A = this chain, B = another copy of it.
Amino acid sequence: MADFDLLRTLLQPAQTKIVLLVMDGLGGLPRAEDDCTELEAAHTPNMDRLAREGCLGQHYPVGVGIASGSGPGHLGLFGYDPLKYEIGRGVLEAVGIGFHVTPRDVCARGNFCTLDVQGNIVDRRAGRIPTEVCARLVRKINAARIELEAGVEVFVEPVQDYRFVVVMRGDDLAGQIEDTDPQRVGAPPLPARARDAASERTAALFNRWVAEAMNVIRDDHPANGLTLRGFAKEPGLPKFRDVYGLRAAAIAIYPMYRGVAALVGMDRIEHQARTIREEFEVAARVWNDYDFLFIHVKYTDSRGEDGDFAAKQAVIEEVDAALPVLLDLRPDVLIITGDHSTPSQLRSHSWHPVPLLLWAPATARRDGSTHFGERACARGGLGTFLARDIMPMALAHALRLQKFGA
């Protein structure tokens, strides 16, 4: 990871502004017909100009050969070693629906399931009930106002289909708790078992909550039971303001990315943007309030996972066409990259290094690149590096770090 202790000693005040523009799943593979990736095939006159004026490179979000999920991919981009810092599944699920997770929270993913009269699971997904039914069941549980003990609150929120999320909030809660889903039918849900002494009380509270919630839905069909998994405490990550001295904000259409950013101390910008251009216009609106903006573009990854080369290329072109809105803000440092590769040929996240463009008109070392693409990045002046080096690069190019030693 970025060496936070070192960086803290080197931080110096500056008025410079940094933009980290993440096209989710940006990296691709060349197709046969013209040997171009989605990024290489895309018509990107603005990014190509930035490549001429800036410097290219490629990064590994987690490590060589590792295809990264969105959580670790973004942690890497933000300078946190994803092998050291983990965002538990429950927390990721909660932030994914826009729930504001606090440091006092333990989160779990829930499944509604179908139990037989002996209490054994006969369908782990309750016949895949639609989201409306899930939401109705959640409302019913919430209406029961289950009370556990003074100072402990429980929030339940529907997610999708049979899935929901439970967040328990209180002092001294801990999340080292085993899943209650036995992962098979014909067995009853397991009790929540603590993996360490610090989690005993939290596990007991979850067991009481489960018993009461099951009682509330016992006569519903097919969802008359529930299981919990992915228990996780809010990870307590160091915050951008503290480690980088940056007032930072996140602009993303999907709540999960705002949520992951919030876990590292970024403000979540609320907005109605639905297009990339509108996201950039949101950046313009909050420009004066922040030193650092993380802007997330989702659909490069979505179209890559669809296996739709042309549609992913079109998303990249949409970003390029909207880029003047960002450039008009005159950022001192603009980094354009992805959180992992999602080649449309593979229809999934991949381990391939992720192209990166660093543009900093006053401080970047131009490397002779003429366009933004995987092959140009592999030969770029920044070389090949780990994602956790990106934030030190950004701070340095923004003249926010003093010299180390005499």
Contact = CB atoms under 8 A, between A and B. Distances in A.
Contacts of A70: 405-406
Contact of A63 (B3, B29, B89, B365): B3
Contact of A378 (B353, B367, B397): B367
A403 B349 CA distance: 7
A69 interface: yes
B65 A395 contact: yes
Interface string A375-395: 100111111110001011111
Contacts of A380: 378
A397 B27 CA distance: 15
Contact of A68 (B3, B29, B403): B403
Contacts of A62: 404-405
Given A29-B365, A351-B396, A366-B35, A404 B3 contact: no
Given A366-B30, A382-B384, A404 B82 contact: yes
Contacts of A286: none
Nearest to A89: B406
A105 interface: no
A183 interface: no
A82 B406 CA distance: 12
A329 interface: no
A83 interface: yes
Contact of A374 (B83, B365, B389): B365
A125 interface: no
A158 interface: no
Given A68-B405, A404-B82, A385 B385 contact: no
Contacts of A37: 365
A368 interface: yes
Contacts of A366: 29-30, 35
Contact of A385 (B6, B367, B379, B384): B384
B348 A403 contact: yes
A198 interface: no
A352 B396 CA distance: 9
A67 interface: yes
A70 B92 CA distance: 45
A35 B370 CA distance: 13
8 contacts: A30-B366, A58-B383, A82-B404, A87-B405, A350-B363, A353-B383, A367-B378, A375-B381
